Structure 1
Amino acid sequence: MSFDLNGKTALVTGTSGGIGQAIAVGLAEAGASIVAVSASNSDDTVRLVRGFGGAIEQISADLSDADGLEGVFEEALGYFGGIDILVNNAGTIRRTPAARHAREDWYDVIDINLHSVFFLCQLAGNHMIERGSGKIINIASLLSFQGGINVPGYTASKHAVTGVTKALANEWAGKGIQVNAIAPGYIDTRNTAPLLADAKRSQAILERIPAARWGTPEDLKGPAVFLASSASDYMNGHVLFVDGGWMAR
């Protein structure tokens, strides 16, 4: 029963595929109603959730537009009467050496990966403070702790996500709100396709993963349900690695 999400509503961003889709489906399988938010349509996610009788609605929105986030959140509130769980998954990446990293690429990444995360946390946090409870899950990265190669904007944004997660946990834990993060390892998604396509780089990554395989989006389902449920009520400001053992190597 500690993992039961029946009667809860989750707002999940970046749900058109990959990790966001898997998390939305996983939360719905645990009983939550889902508001799926993505810049492109989440029709496949809607089909999957409704296929097993789950409740889901979708919103198409450009999350890089900070001025529009309040409207997105208000629309989300209107579907199921409130938001109990926020999963900030939407993100982007630009792969360019630091010396040639375009200013536009830097701003694009920071707008999506950091600004939208903080301002959606703020909107959800105020709503949850009024209700006296809530769960916020931010999607961090191994590059919240490492430098990476050719992704300075992404690395900066993901370092910042862990800082925001801890800062909000400090302020809101006493108000019944748990703010935590998941740091996925190397997961087979659209964002990592260039790495998988590079035989040398892909093999080097694989050789460091103790689990001896790349992760799949479905590997994030269980950890997300855990952090969204009452099973994690005494977890605050934690970053949960789901990386096949990469950080232990």
Structure 2
Amino acid sequence: MSRIAVVTGAASGIGKATKDLLQSRGQRVIGVDLRDAQVVADLSTAAGRTALVAGMRELLDDSPIDAIYANAGVATPTPTTVAVNYFGTLATLEGLRPFLNGAATPRAVVVSSMAALMPTDDELVRLLLAGDEAAALARGEILAKDPQTTGALIYGSTKLALSRWVRRHAAGPEWAGSGIPLNVVAPGIIATPMTADLIATEEGREALLKMVPMPLNGVAEPVVVARLLAWLGGEENTHLCGQVIYVDGGSDVVLRGDAVW
């Protein structure tokens, strides 16, 4: 029987590449996004998160799903990034986890970023991991007042907190204890709408690669990440648990050397 996968952020970028790849392999994919998706939901809001679960119930008719690909995210220096990247992702994992019950080989994968290795805001990370959305959004508002400096810390902070959340929960009873491998993919610079303006010129691309060095083949296409996501969410992955896998052309190695965490 064909696997059933849910991909958030499925309308563009890594999400679309993942959806297309899984479909080319014969899987049924339920795409979630703000538009052009089977389930239209705004994961920055409580209503949108509720709509995600309700939409899944309507489409599935009590059938289980086999894999969750929690990919939806934004990279603006605004509180919306806080709401979508962290709380929207957790709502996806926690809201859809019951749908994995009954699947023979359930899997879940989260898309973080190598930006978690860049400068972050300790207070925002603390509030995110505490699960205090109101306070985290308020902190985001403060940081967003200067988009070029403090605002630039928001994205990496959400991704760092997300990676840490997975590390803290993946081996617990709701995930590993229930036979569900939960892991993280952390991309480097990927050629998506999110980065299009930054890499539109040779000068811009070179400047970005100085910040995010990618000695192995440079900027990647979305399908590169999709292939890794597909394996992590597939039947073959039986024992990876809570790992943050950098698909970044070597950025992690260049920036952290031989540090493994």
Which range, TM-score by smaller chain?
0.7 to 0.9
Residue in structure 1 matching 2:218, options 201, 209, 213? 213
In 2, distance between residues paired with 1:206 and 1:153? 20
Relative to structure 1, is the Cα distance of residues 67 and 170 closer, same or farther in structure 2, using a 3 angstrom cutoff? farther
Aligned equivalent of 1:184? 187
In 2, distance between residues paired with 1:85 and 1:74? 18
Unaligned runs of 5+ in 2: 121-147, 255-261
In 2, distance between residues paired with 1:133 and 1:231? 9
Aligned pair 1:235/2:217, yes or no? no
Residue in structure 2 matching 1:92, options 74, 81, 102? 74
Aligned equivalent of 2:145? none
Aligned pair 1:114/2:114, yes or no? no
**Maintained 8 Å contact 2:66/2:104:** no
In 1, distance between residues paired with 2:80 and 2:232? 28
TM-score for both structures, normalised by structure 2? 0.77
Q: Secondary structure at the match of 2:219?
A: coil
Relative to structure 1, is the Cα distance of residues 132 and 28 closer, same or farther in structure 2, using a 3 angstrom cutoff? closer
Deviates more, 1:184-193 or 1:131-140: 131-140
In 1, distance between residues paired with 2:57 and 2:3? 12
Q: Secondary structure at the match of 2:107?
A: strand
In 1, distance between residues paired with 2:16 and 2:248? 18
Aligned pair 1:39/2:34, yes or no? yes
In 1, distance between residues paired with 2:48 and 2:252? 37
Relative to structure 1, is the Cα distance of residues 41 and 62 closer, same or farther in structure 2, using a 3 angstrom cutoff? same
Residues 1-249 of structure 1 mapped to structure 2, 5 A cutoff: 7-42=2-37, 58-80=38-60, 81-95=63-77, 105=78, 107-129=79-101, 133-147=105-119, 150=149, 151-171=152-172, 172-197=175-200, 199-206=202-209, 208-249=213-254
Q: Secondary structure at the match of 1:181?
A: strand
How far did 1:199 drift?
Answer: 4.5
In 1, distance between residues paired with 2:199 and 2:183? 29
How far did 1:71 drift?
Answer: 3.1
Unaligned runs of 5+ in 1: 1-5, 43-57, 96-104
Q: How many residues align?
A: 219
**Maintained 8 Å contact 1:195/1:201:** yes
**Maintained 8 Å contact 2:67/2:100:** no
- Supply the AA of the counterpart residue of 1:178: P
Aligned equivalent of 1:54? none
TM-score for both structures, normalised by structure 1? 0.80
- Supply the AA of the counterpart residue of 1:228: G
**Maintained 8 Å contact 2:105/2:235:** no
Deviates more, 1:122-131 or 1:178-187: 122-131
How far did 1:130 drift?
Answer: 6.0
How far did 1:129 drift?
Answer: 4.7
Please tell me the root mean square deviation across aligned C-alpha atoms, in Å: 2.1
Percent identity for Structure 1 against Structure 2: 25
**Maintained 8 Å contact 1:187/1:217:** yes
How far did 1:142 drift?
Answer: 0.5
In 2, distance between residues paired with 1:191 and 1:197? 11
Deviates more, 1:118-127 or 1:235-244: 118-127
How far did 1:11 drift?
Answer: 0.8
Runs of 4+ with >4 A deviation:
129-133
- Supply the AA of the counterpart residue of 2:158: S
How far did 1:73 drift?
Answer: 1.9
Q: Secondary structure at the match of 2:215?
A: coil
How far did 1:82 drift?
Answer: 2.3
**Maintained 8 Å contact 1:132/1:175:** no
CA offsets per residue over residues 182-206 of structure 1, 9 Å max, x none? 1111011111123214644421444
